[in-house]
Amino acid sequence: MTATLEQRLDAFRRLDDAKLTFARRDWFPGTSGNLSIKIQNDPLQFAVTASGKDKTKLSPEDYLVVDQDSRPVDETALKPSAETLIHAVVYKTFPKAGACFHVHTVWNNLISELYFGQRAFSIQGQELIKGLGIWEENARITVPIVENFADIPTLAAAIEKVITPEVPGVLIRNHGIYTWGGNDFEAKRHLEAFEFLFEYHARWLQLRQAVVSTTTTN
């Protein structure tokens, strides 16, 4: 069965909301980023941003619906995001995922490069970890980091190997983050929590270094 017009319009409207919210935060520099909302599981169909668009703007040609092979469901001149395969991997790996968001920010890029050697970024004891749906005392999270392969099937396969149900995100080295959730509200909350944790940690390293330099030179 294919998605109804009502389902598509609802997904497009939700994508508009998420897109404008993230655009206001400058989370789509240079047309980067892509967003999707799942419409149905069996067979998989999801609405995804069209490739190369200015994501700070709204137009009638912003989204299209694709299938489990990342192919458009309808005849269209629009091209799905170049990274649609990654969204498909998320939905196939986690059938309960209902939305998947990808942004490039300075903070997520810095953390992805700083910790690429360990292939993971870990952080503990931060309140915002609860924003990821993890409520245990003094929780520690580990976000996997993959190489930024130019070949998207290779990148998608690398992501498929490292994503886990415990932590709803993956960093791509010097590229950005993919995060997901049961619906668009949850995926947005996860993205905001990740970005807070990345920025906090990067700023903490800077401040700590500044304090160490001051105390050793005085």
Ligand X SMILES: CSCCC(=O)C(=O)COP(=O)(O)O
The distance of closest approach from Cβ of residue 1 to ligand X in the complex, given in angstroms and rounded to an integer, is 27
Question: Binding residue for ligand X (CB under 6 A) from 2, 13, 17, 52?
Answer: 52
- Work out whether 98 is an interface residue with ligand X (CB under 6 A): no
- Work out whether 30 is an interface residue with ligand X (CB under 6 A): yes
Query: CA separation (Å) from 155 to 53, 87, 108, 119, 175?
Result: 22, 12, 17, 14, 11
Q: Is 104 a known ligand-binding residue?
A: yes
> How far is the C-alpha of 206 from the C-alpha of 2, rounded, in Å?
51
- Work out whether 70 is an interface residue with ligand X (CB under 6 A): no
Instruction: Give the residue nearest to ligand X (CB).
Output: 81
Q: Is 175 a known ligand-binding residue?
A: no
**Tell me, what DSSP letter sits at residue 4?**
P
Edge-first strand listing for the sheet containing 34-40: 63-67, 45-49, 34-40, 99-103, 176-181, 169-172, 140-146, 120-124
For residue 179, the partner it binds in ligand X, Zn ion, none, with Cβ less than 5 to 8 A by kind, is none
For residue 168, the partner it binds in Zn ion, ligand X, none, with Cβ less than 5 to 8 A by kind, is none
For the CA atoms of 192, 194, 196, 202, what is the dihedral angle to 10 degrees?
Answer: -150
Task: Rank residues 34 and 70 by Cβ distance to ligand X and give the closer one.
Answer: 34
Contact pattern for ligand X over residues 78 through 97, marking x by CB under 6 A: ---xxx--------------
Point out which residues pair with 72 in neighbouring strands: 66
Radius of gyration from C-alpha coordinates of the chain: 18
Longest alpha-carbon distance in the chain: 71
Task: Rank residues 64 and 129 by Cβ distance to ligand X and give the closer one.
Answer: 64
> How far is the C-alpha of 95 from the C-alpha of 44, rounded, in Å?
9
Token digits of residue 98: 């209902």
Task: Rank residues 83 and 184 by Cβ distance to ligand X and give the closer one.
Answer: 83
Contact pattern for Zn ion over residues 42 through 61, marking x by CB under 5 A: --------------------
Task: Rank residues 129 and 170 by Cβ distance to ligand X and give the closer one.
Answer: 170
Contact pattern for Zn ion over residues 170 through 189, marking x by CB under 5 A: ------x-------------
Task: Rank residues 32 and 41 by Cβ distance to ligand X and give the closer one.
Answer: 32
Cβ pair 25, 103 in contact under 8 A: no
Q: Which residues are annotated as a binding site for Zn(2+)?
A: 102, 104
Known binding residues: 102, 104
